[in-house]
Chain A
Amino acid sequence: MRIDYLEVIHYRNYRRQQIEPVEGLNIFVGENAQGKSNLLESMYVLATSKSTRASRDSELILFGEPSASIRARVNRIKDIDLAIEFDVSLVEKKFAKLNGSRHTRMADVIGQVNAVMFDSGDLETIRGEPSVRRRFLDLEISQTSPRYVHSLGAYRKTIEQRNFLLKEIRERRARPGSLETLSAWNVQLANYGSLLIDRRRSFLSRLSVIAAEAHSLLSDGRDLLEITYLPSFHVNDVSDVTGIQQEFLNQLAFVSDDEKARGTTLIGPQRDDVSFSVSKRDSKLFGSQGQQRTVALAVKLAERQLIEELVGEPPVLLLDDVLSDLDDLRRRRLFEYVGETGSQTFVTCTNLRAFPASILERARIWNVCEGKAEISGG
């Protein structure tokens, strides 16, 4: 997948900007707050119909203008070439145009362009609260498994009902006979929950292998990255969904008194976590900023590969401010690795000193200043 042409109009701090990227590496260089990340964001919006940074679509519009457009021509191996346009307006509903036909249902638009974006928010996956990592799991697995999406919804509904019941039991105001309904909720909880656990486990075991490879390349084979699923109860001894379901029920029986005393569900996917350890040390606790960034980057590169396997061609890679905190070795390794994947890559940075000369030779470089990007060196 390759973006041959990108144009943004009244977008963020750009009045009108055209970009003709190259197949390999594209670099946006400039001081902070000049609009480098905005260009990466515009391509991410084309892929996902929303921004990782904007809480409202209207933030994407240049101040004083009624609407913003992002347009691109995309070359795809597995599909016909695509002219895509994405429009956000203060008055109209947002819409996209795919080869001329207009769509307001974003589900029709998402996935036409595939992109993987790395930005500083991704560090939170490593060092943030467990809920951030659960959200990461849900987001990643949901993309490829409608069944996961359905089970996740049903699981949340079940846990809401079950917690309500447990709270009533704790406060001794449960309706007569309600206590006996707990076992029915247990079956439902284990039924939907076991699927979530099974899918998370297999996703992480695949991710772990690929991310470890990427991490080993980035760190020159010095450090071993291990991604470990930490479910709320052990499932090491069971291999399939039915086994997990049975174990879930066993564990529920085990914590039953505790749950009634506490008035809430104590085990299940809502309490899962993931650990990222480098050479047997937990990155969240022991990692330096640079080490955490390398881990987050390795996870993103693994995600890139999973998408490539799924779609059948390399997605576009968007690396925002990826170079700070990385030492020279890791930087060189990163660009070697990315070059080998065949993913068209866009990088932002504040100066070019970080790049080895051999890599700069083949890259196209734009100087970005106050909402204008100009090709460097002609």
Chain B
Amino acid sequence: MALHYAKPLARLVSEFEKLPGVGPKSAQRLAFHVLRIPDEEAQALACAITEVKASIQYCEICANFTDQPICDICEDPRRDRSTICVVSEPRDLIAMEKTNEYRGVYHVLQGVISPMDGIGPDRLRIRQLLSRLENDQVKEVILATNPTVEGDATAMYITENVIRPLEKGIRVTKIAHGMPIGGDIDYADQATLISALEWRRDMR
């Protein structure tokens, strides 16, 4: 097949195509956009990419992304270290932080257990979680994995194979699954409603 682009341009298009959610058409649009923007802007983009790769690492404590050895949340003296919220992805942590309500600390697994995708506990940040539970004064672990088959299996594994064997009397909780706030009951799907019924609680 004839090459439609000049080689450097073709290379850029093919790099964009590798990005999640970017198809051939979008990749082409992005590449032409880059060609049209001023040099400084293109430089800034390239620098941002190089820098993020060079400076971002996993927090030594919670495995969140950070540019320091230890992330801001784990450094913050006002956070309650006796409560750890376990999430699977950094974006879940960001969602939790936006509530501005949670005062505990986090642990980011960086994935969920999924044999089909070749992800076992060794690929997740579980050893790090274990050493935190062993060494720190943790009173409660809140499991906030997604309510999927894999998310639930991961939560179950952490409960039964990581926390229980420690015999430290750590409270293990799982976030409630049910109706979204401000949502309409008649718009909720049946699985959500069933869960909402199951996790109902007494009026006080």
Contacts and interface: CB of A to CB of B under 8 A. Distances in A.
A175 B120 contact: yes
A378 interface: no
Contacts of B116: 160-161, 164
A158 interface: yes
Contact of B160 (A147, A149, A165, A184): A184
A189 to B, nearest CB: 10
B115 A168 contact: yes
B149 interface: yes
Given A161-B115, A184-B154, A177 B122 contact: yes
A188 B149 contact: yes
A147 B190 contact: yes
B113 A181 contact: yes
8 contacts: A164-B115, A165-B115, A168-B115, A175-B123, A176-B120, A178-B115, A185-B153, A187-B153
B149 A178 contact: no
Contacts of B154: 184
Contacts of A162: 115
A149 B194 CA distance: 12
Chain A interface size band reads 20 to 34
B150 interface: yes
Interface string B162-194: 000000000000000000000000000011001
A184 B114 CA distance: 12
A265 B123 CA distance: 24
Contacts of A158: 149, 153
A184 B115 contact: no
Contacts of B194: 146-147, 150
Contacts of A187: 153, 156, 160
A188 B120 CA distance: 16
B161 A184 contact: yes
Contacts of A184: 113, 153-154, 156-157, 160-161
Contact of A188 (B115, B153, B161): B153
